[in-house]
Structure 1
Amino acid sequence: MTSPATARRLWALAEPFHALTYFADEAQAAFAAAGLRGFWAGYFAGRAAPLGAVGAEVVAATFVNFSPDFVARRVPGVWADASPADALQARLDGVDAAVRRVLGDGWTSSPDAVEAMELAAAAAAAVDLPGRPLAAANSAVAVPGEPHLVLWQALTTLREHRGDGHTVALVQREIDGVQAHVLAAAAGRSDRAWLQKARGWDDAAWGDGVAALTERGRLADGELTAEGLAVVAAVEADTDRLALAPWRALGDRGCDRLAELLVPVRRAVVSAGAWPAGNPIGVPEPG
C-alpha cells in the first residue's frame, strides 16, 4: 500500500520543477512580456489564472499563507494588465524556455520526459477535487501536447492538490496564515525574515501570531512547546495523508518510477540556480 511518505517524497522531488514558474529568469521575462511587470505581479496572476479573474479575497483564501493586504496590493489589479488567459500562456512560455535551458531541448521530448509525463498525468487525473479549489482549477487547464509542458501542468495540479489539503489541515486546527509561518519558523523549516518578506506579514501581525499560539500553549518564549511540536507534526502528517489519493491510484511501482525520473530533473534545476536556497516554500530534501 502506497504510504504517506511517498506523497512527501514526490512533492520534494517535483517542487523545484514546478517552481521554475517563480524563480527562472525566463518566467519573469514571459510575464513581463504579457504586461505583468515585477515578481509578484507574475506570481499572483500566473498562479491564480486557473481560477479566472478572481479578486483579492479569493486569492488570499486559497493561497492562505499571504497577508491579505499584501495580496490586495496586486489583485485584482493584475487583471488590468493581463487576462487570465494571457497569464496562463505566459507561465507556459516561461516554463518552456526555462526547461529548454536547464534540461536541454533534447530532453523535452526524450523517452524519459514522455514516461514522466505519462505517470504524472495519470496521477493528476486521479486527484480528488471536492474541497480542492486550486487543484480543481488546474485540472481544467488545457496544455499543448509537448511532454515537458504536460508534465509541468500535471505536477502543478498535484502540488496544488497537496496545498489544498494542507489548508484543510491548518483550518481544522484553527491555524491562520501568519500562525502557520510562525510555527514553520519555530520548527526551523524556514527563516522568519524570509517568510515575512515573501508573504507580506509585518512585525505587528507576526507578533499577533506569536501571542495567539502562546495563549494556546503551542509556543513558550518563542519556542515550540511539546504541544506545538505535536501540532506541527500532526499538520504535516495530515497534509501527507490528504495528498495520497492520486499517488495511491498510480501505485507503488508507478510512484517509484516517477521518483526515479524526477531525481535528475530536480538536480538539473538546483544546479542551474533556479531553486534558491532557503526559499519560503519550505520543501524538505527528498528522502
Structure 2
Amino acid sequence: MSSPATARRLWALAEPFHALTYFAPECRDAAEQAGLRGFWNGYFAQRAAPLGATGPEVVTAVFYNFAPAFVARRLPAVWADVSPAAALDARLAGIDAAVRRVLGEEWIGSDDAVEAMDLAATAAAAVDLPGRPLAAANTAVQVPGEPHLGLWQAVTTLREHRGDGHSVALSQREVDGVTAHVLAAAAGRSDREWLMRARGWDDAAWDDAVARLTERRWLDDGELTAEGLAMVAAIEADTDRLALGPWQALGDTGCDRLAALLAPVRRSVVAAGDWPAGNPIGVPDPE
C-alpha cells in the first residue's frame, strides 16, 4: 500500500505546477485583466473563489497562516471588483497561458498530459471531505476539458486537501499561524523576511511567537531544540499521513506512474524560473 512518503513525494513533485498560479506572470496578468489590481487581491480572490464570496473570518480560518489584518485588507472588498466565478475563470486563463509557455503546445496535446490528468483526477475524486473545507470547495469546481487544465485542477484539489490536513496537525499541537512560520524558518524551509512579507505578520507578532516557543522549550536562542525538532517532524509526519487517502485510492502503480509523469513537468517549471528558491510554500525537493 502507498505510504505517507508517497504523499510527500507527490506533493513535492506537483506543487510547482500548481504554484504557477502564484508565480507565473501570465497568471498575474489574467487577474489584472479580470479587475483584480495587485498581487494579493488576485491571490485571495482566486484561491478563495471556490468557497464563494466569503469574508475575511472564514478565509483566515481555512488559509490558517495569514495574519488576520492582512486578509481583511483584501476581503470582502475584492468581491466588489470580481465575482467568484470570474475569479475562477481568471485563474484558469492564467494557468492556460503559463502552461503553454512553460511546457509548450507539444506537451499540452501529448498522451502524457492526458494520462497525468486521468491519474491525478482519480486521486482527487477520492479526497475525504469532512474537515477539509478548501479541498471540498475545489471538488465542486467544474473540471476543465483540456488535459493541462484538468491536471492543474486535480493537483490543486489534492494540495488543498493536504493543506487542510496540515492545519489539523498544527491545531492539535496548539501551533497557530505565525508560530508555524517561526518553526518553518527555524527548520530552514523558508526565511523570516519572506514569510513575514508574504503572510502579513509584523516583528512584534513574530517575536511573541518566538517567546512562546522558547517557553515551550521548542526553541533555544532561536534554534530548534531536540524537542522542537521532534515536534516539527511529528507535524510533518501527521500531515503526510492525513494526506494519504487519495493516493491509496490511486494505488502504488498509479502513484509511481503519476510521479514519473510529473517529474519532467516540475523540472520545466523550475527551469523556466517560475518556482522561486526559498519561497514561503516550503516544499522540499522530491527524493
TM-score grouping bracket, smaller chain normalisation? over 0.9
Deviation at 1:215, TM superposition (A): 1.2
Partner of 2:142: 142
1:263 aligns with 2:263: yes
Code of the residue aligned with 2:20 in structure 1: it is L
Partner of 1:240: 240
Deviation at 1:144, TM superposition (A): 2.1
Partner of 1:223: 223
Identity %: 79
Q: Distance in 2 between matches of 1:164 and 1:267?
A: 26
Deviation at 1:170, TM superposition (A): 0.2
Q: Distance in 2 between matches of 1:274 and 1:226?
A: 35
Partner of 1:48: 48
Partner of 1:280: 280
Q: Distance in 2 between matches of 1:7 and 1:144?
A: 24
Code of the residue aligned with 2:194 in structure 1: it is W
Deviation at 1:216, TM superposition (A): 1.2
Q: Distance in 1 between matches of 2:212 and 2:53?
A: 34
Q: How many residues end up aligned between the 2 structures?
A: 287
Q: Distance in 1 between matches of 2:183 and 2:19?
A: 23
1:72 aligns with 2:72: yes
Deviation at 1:189, TM superposition (A): 1.1
Deviation at 1:143, TM superposition (A): 2.6
Deviation at 1:109, TM superposition (A): 2.4
Higher mean C-alpha deviation, range 193-202 or range 213-222: 213-222
Q: Distance in 1 between matches of 2:153 and 2:92?
A: 9
Q: Distance in 1 between matches of 2:103 and 2:188?
A: 32
Deviation at 1:105, TM superposition (A): 1.5
Code of the residue aligned with 2:33 in structure 1: it is A
Deviation at 1:200, TM superposition (A): 0.6
Q: Distance in 2 between matches of 1:98 and 1:134?
A: 23
TM-score normalised by the chain length of structure 1: 0.99
Q: Distance in 1 between matches of 2:109 and 2:253?
A: 23
1:81 aligns with 2:81: yes
Q: Distance in 1 between matches of 2:124 and 2:116?
A: 12
Instruction: Please tell me the root mean square deviation across aligned C-alpha atoms, in Å.
Output: 0.6
In the TM superposition, 1:117-156 aligns within 5 A as 117-156=117-156
Q: Distance in 1 between matches of 2:88 and 2:169?
A: 29
Give a deviation string over 1:103-160, Cα, whole Å, max 9, x none: 1112112100000000000000000110000000001100321111010000000000
TM-score normalised by the chain length of structure 2: 0.99
- The 3-state SS of whatever aligns with 1:66 is coil
Q: Distance in 2 between matches of 1:164 and 1:119?
A: 21
Higher mean C-alpha deviation, range 213-222 or range 202-211: 213-222
Code of the residue aligned with 1:93 in structure 2: it is A
Partner of 1:11: 11
Listed as ranges, the gaps of 5+ residues in structure 1 are none
Q: Distance in 2 between matches of 1:11 and 1:136?
A: 18
Give a deviation string over 1:217-248, Cα, whole Å, max 9, x none: 11111111111111100000000000000001
TM superposition outliers: structure 1 runs of 4+ over 6 Å: none
Partner of 2:38: 38
1:203 aligns with 2:203: yes
In the TM superposition, 1:21-32 aligns within 5 A as 21-32=21-32
Partner of 2:165: 165
Q: Distance in 2 between matches of 1:109 and 1:186?
A: 43
Q: Distance in 2 between matches of 1:234 and 1:199?
A: 23
- The 3-state SS of whatever aligns with 2:42 is helix
Q: Distance in 1 between matches of 2:79 and 2:110?
A: 36
- The 3-state SS of whatever aligns with 2:217 is coil
Q: Distance in 1 between matches of 2:110 and 2:272?
A: 20
Q: Distance in 2 between matches of 1:5 and 1:128?
A: 19
Q: Distance in 2 between matches of 1:216 and 1:125?
A: 40
Q: Distance in 2 between matches of 1:75 and 1:206?
A: 23
Deviation at 1:269, TM superposition (A): 0.6
Give a deviation string over 1:233-278, Cα, whole Å, max 9, x none: 0000000000000001100000000000001100111111111111
Deviation at 1:211, TM superposition (A): 1.1
Q: Distance in 2 between matches of 1:156 and 1:183?
A: 25
